[in-house]
Chains A and B, each alone.
Chain A
């Protein structure tokens, strides 16, 4: 059987994670922002296809960073 390719398991794709509602609230509070001020990610983005994220959810992305080793980013899921 042909092995199915999973994008989110690929080594070059940084780890994507869905935030719980409580975590989301905490994040928004920490930066004193609304969801509108967060960077965005498309709902159809391949990296989050397996997370089942809905518009309005916040995705936490842990990227390898040249300066910081690991950098945490947050993106809000949007429709189109």
Chain B
């Protein structure tokens, strides 16, 4: 109840204020006074407060009471849209344009031309003839031209069409009986009250479409003729053209009260205003001309188009006045219609677009606004920023995970503003002294009044003298500064994270390979963006909400999204699986990783790799988990006592170890530890050497024979199946044809054979080979890849079937028709090392091309799908009561995700209450 009252009060205050503004507009001289009054009315509490402060005896000095800035706060209550009336066009215009000429011989704008100086200034030094202000101060003023004959406005063609069809051609009334009119209006109001303005529009559409078929006016009984639209702008009534003049007179006849049923609101919008008699000329400030290097002027597309309109319009005037034959006048009229139409929209389907002399289409009003390069998506929704950088990225595992390596040339361009105080004055002076060319220097100083001054060799001395508290120095980027790092497409929040700057030589941005995964980055030429927050608030926000360690645990699946990759995994695998080092080696390794406390290493000559790894882990950490091979991993009191490290524990998206660590010791510790583990793995490989060689795929003689045997057997079995099929002895699977059943059986046999060869490779290949180590630790590749190299590539499939297309009833012309044998349908029995036969290679490239096409086509498709999804959900928000709501506070979900659980703070979406109780008690 009380709330409503307040709203009412506000509304009243508003009304008063609006009146005030209206008055102010009328009497500009009194503007200031009235505005002051408006202010008092707007915020009565404030006024009261200040008055009380003045009256109170302990009021401080007078200067302090007076507000430093006068805020005029206004609330937009409603916006009304309407169509410009001829009167308004004339009233708001400051010049009438009569000649298509732009400049006279001296290059000065012609009076009454399209570049008339009453329309605003675009040349520096000149003053606007209308408002007297200079360039950039004057926003420009409209002009107008008087059209010799009325012209249909292309954007209103459809509305004009419905208006003509649904009103009487004789009396101008809407084709609804007079007595029923008010009933219709009531219905519309009801609909609007119940289901909003959208529904009202739909209802209007309904009503109007029903009227279009009526052929007798219910008011004056006049017969209605059939009207068709010949696109784009010609209206035909029973084979006879209706001229725009006629259309305009018909629209004029529609009474104000009837317009409501068309969704128009006379007198704000009169139907006849959709047929132009006056055309507003936009100010020159929105169509500035460019002066080329040669001194020549190049006009804007709009100016060109307007020039055409004015020229044809003048000719039409002259011809009409001279009493030229009707045909000539009509031709000119049509031409004028064409120019005005293309002036509004140059992409009308039925019209050839107006072109430059060079042949490229003009960019007129509609093209300026719509689509991706238009004003809305490009300029309003597409924001651009300063203080950012973009280059190629490259890896540097010696950086911390939350660091980003910034090239020094970039560090000298990007700056951080630092406010001068009495305490840091000397510190900041040093930057100014270095100047903009030496690192670490400063590029600008900003005076307290906001004036920016560039530091150069000449101004350096003066700037140094000048600096005092209140000034701001824009110093070069330095180690430890905050930066936001981003890679497109920014699909989730981890695509933009906050890093610490580390200034490095070189020309690429550097990042730790462990954070590639959240960015989905690799180093095959990827580029990334860097942004430097410029205020304390922005820096704090970036640090608290976006820094890498805060994003460690994914909000999607609750596991670490950052983990060891590639060499870091193989290295730790080798170290913890089975490695013995001398004490010296162990210490060297740990020192390289960045550990200086070696007390955790046991006091003996030979140290186990597990013990080296344990040196990184805190003493009170306990963990049990599984390796990829399902072996037990145990960490007891900070010591790896059983098992070894592989991707299952260290990798991204799988590391339960990392999650527990995060839960126990927090984000900062985990990220630091992860960096150390990563470097440990790399250092191990660095010391031992690690590379994949062709001989890794070598198999002993007996293994090769075994593989040959399994493949031969498979081939025989397939042949047997085929002969059975031909003899009609094969049983069909339920719901499948005989042919399909055969295919399924063959596929099964061949797949089994391939898997067997894989097994043989796994058993006989050198277990210590680096390729095998990578596959086993999960660092890169899998056993299938190895088997494909060493033994057999396997069946090539397209759309889940063996290859069948190509020639008539065969895959390649080198096979007999209807050949169903394994090799004729894309089974590659050779391994990559042995080499493929030409036909095998061809089958391989078929599937290769197919998958290439598939990915190339799928990426943009899923990208657009995601864009639509993101746009639809962008303002959904989880409220404090756990419900998900949209921007108008409507409930979408009563509990976020139906269970109200934050996945990143739970275990697989569950909360382990038992454990929590245990850990607390």
Binding site for B on A (CB under 8 A): 30-33, 36-39, 65-69, 71-74
B891 x A67 contact (CB < 8 A): no
Shortest CB-to-CB span from A4 to chain B, Å, is 33
Bound CA span A69–B895, Å:
13
A37 x B899 contact (CB < 8 A): no
Chain A residues within 8 Å of B885, by CB: 37
A31 x B883 contact (CB < 8 A): yes
A68 x B899 contact (CB < 8 A): yes
B891 x A39 contact (CB < 8 A): yes
Chain A residues within 8 Å of B901, by CB: 67
Chain A residues within 8 Å of B894, by CB: 31, 71-74
A68 x B898 contact (CB < 8 A): yes
Chain B residues within 8 Å of A71, by CB: 894-895, 898-899
Closest B residue to A80 by CB, please name it. B195
Shortest CB-to-CB span from A28 to chain B, Å, is 11
A39 x B892 contact (CB < 8 A): yes
Shortest CB-to-CB span from A18 to chain B, Å, is 17
Contact of B898 among A33, A37, A65 (CB under 8 A): A65
Bound CA span A69–B900, Å:
12
Instruction: A30-B881, A68-B898 given; name 20 further pairs at CB < 8 Å.
Output: A31-B881, A31-B894, A32-B881, A33-B889, A33-B891, A37-B888, A38-B891, A65-B898, A66-B898, A67-B897, A67-B899, A67-B901, A67-B909, A68-B897, A68-B899, A69-B899, A71-B895, A71-B898, A71-B899, A74-B894
Shortest CB-to-CB span from B901 to chain A, Å, is 7
Shortest CB-to-CB span from B7 to chain A, Å, is 15
Interface of B is mostly: loop
Say whether B726 faces chain A, with CB atoms less than 8 Å apart.
no
Interface of A is mostly: mixed
Say whether B890 faces chain A, with CB atoms less than 8 Å apart.
yes
Chain B residues within 8 Å of A65, by CB: 898-899
Binding site for A on B (CB under 8 A): 881, 883, 885, 888-892, 894-895, 897-901, 909
Shortest CB-to-CB span from A19 to chain B, Å, is 13
Bound CA span A65–B909, Å:
13
Chain A residues within 8 Å of B892, by CB: 39
Q: Chain B CB within 10 Å — which of A38, A66, A68 has the most?
A: A68
Shortest CB-to-CB span from B684 to chain A, Å, is 41
Chain A residues within 8 Å of B888, by CB: 37
Bound CA span A67–B889, Å:
24
Shortest CB-to-CB span from A60 to chain B, Å, is 10
Q: List 10 A-B contacts (CB under 8 A).
A: A31-B881, A31-B883, A33-B889, A36-B890, A37-B885, A65-B898, A67-B898, A67-B909, A68-B899, A71-B899
Chain A residues within 8 Å of B898, by CB: 65-68, 71
Q: Chain B CB within 10 Å — which of A32, A37, A69 has the most?
A: A37
Closest A residue to B883 by CB, please name it. A31
Chain A residues within 8 Å of B900, by CB: 68
Chain B residues within 8 Å of A68, by CB: 895, 897-900
Chain A residues within 8 Å of B889, by CB: 33, 37
Shortest CB-to-CB span from B537 to chain A, Å, is 30
Bound CA span A37–B886, Å:
10
Shortest CB-to-CB span from A35 to chain B, Å, is 11
Bound CA span A31–B898, Å:
15
> Given A31-B881, A67-B898, A71-B898, are A37 and B909 neighbors across the interface (CB < 8 Å)?
no
Bound CA span A66–B909, Å:
10
Closest B residue to A38 by CB, please name it. B891
> Given A65-B898, A67-B899, A68-B895, are A37 and B890 neighbors across the interface (CB < 8 Å)?
yes
Q: Which 3 A-B pairs have the closest CB atoms?
A: A68-B899, A71-B898, A65-B898
Closest A residue to B898 by CB, please name it. A71
Bound CA span A72–B900, Å:
12
Chain B residues within 8 Å of A74, by CB: 894
Shortest CB-to-CB span from A40 to chain B, Å, is 10
Shortest CB-to-CB span from B896 to chain A, Å, is 10
Bound CA span A51–B897, Å:
28
Bound CA span A74–B892, Å:
10
Bound CA span A73–B884, Å:
12
A31 x B891 contact (CB < 8 A): yes
B891 x A37 contact (CB < 8 A): yes
Shortest CB-to-CB span from B913 to chain A, Å, is 15
Chain A residues within 8 Å of B897, by CB: 67-68
Bound CA span A74–B894, Å:
8
Chain A residues within 8 Å of B895, by CB: 68, 71
Chain A residues within 8 Å of B881, by CB: 30-32
Bound CA span A38–B901, Å:
22
Chain B residues within 8 Å of A39, by CB: 890-892
Closest A residue to B896 by CB, please name it. A67
Chain B residues within 8 Å of A69, by CB: 899
Shortest CB-to-CB span from B191 to chain A, Å, is 11
Shortest CB-to-CB span from B884 to chain A, Å, is 11
Chain B residues within 8 Å of A30, by CB: 881
Q: Chain A CB within 10 Å — which of B883, B885, B895, B898 has the most?
A: B898
Shortest CB-to-CB span from A73 to chain B, Å, is 6
Shortest CB-to-CB span from B4 to chain A, Å, is 13
Chain A residues within 8 Å of B909, by CB: 67
Bound CA span A66–B899, Å:
9
Bound CA span A73–B890, Å:
13
Closest B residue to A67 by CB, please name it. B899
Closest B residue to A32 by CB, please name it. B881
Shortest CB-to-CB span from A9 to chain B, Å, is 24
Shortest CB-to-CB span from A56 to chain B, Å, is 12
Shortest CB-to-CB span from B873 to chain A, Å, is 15
Bound CA span A68–B910, Å:
9
Bound CA span A68–B899, Å:
5
Closest A residue to B899 by CB, please name it. A68
Shortest CB-to-CB span from A5 to chain B, Å, is 28
Chain A residues within 8 Å of B883, by CB: 31
Chain A residues within 8 Å of B891, by CB: 31, 33, 37-39
Bound CA span A36–B891, Å:
9
Bound CA span A31–B889, Å:
10
Shortest CB-to-CB span from A72 to chain B, Å, is 7
Bound CA span A31–B895, Å:
11
Shortest CB-to-CB span from B195 to chain A, Å, is 9
Bound CA span A65–B896, Å:
12
Closest B residue to A65 by CB, please name it. B898
Shortest CB-to-CB span from B557 to chain A, Å, is 13
Closest A residue to B910 by CB, please name it. A67
Chain B residues within 8 Å of A72, by CB: 894
Bound CA span A71–B888, Å:
23
Bound CA span A17–B897, Å:
22
Bound CA span A33–B883, Å:
11
Bound CA span A67–B888, Å:
27
Bound CA span A33–B898, Å:
19
Bound CA span A39–B883, Å:
12
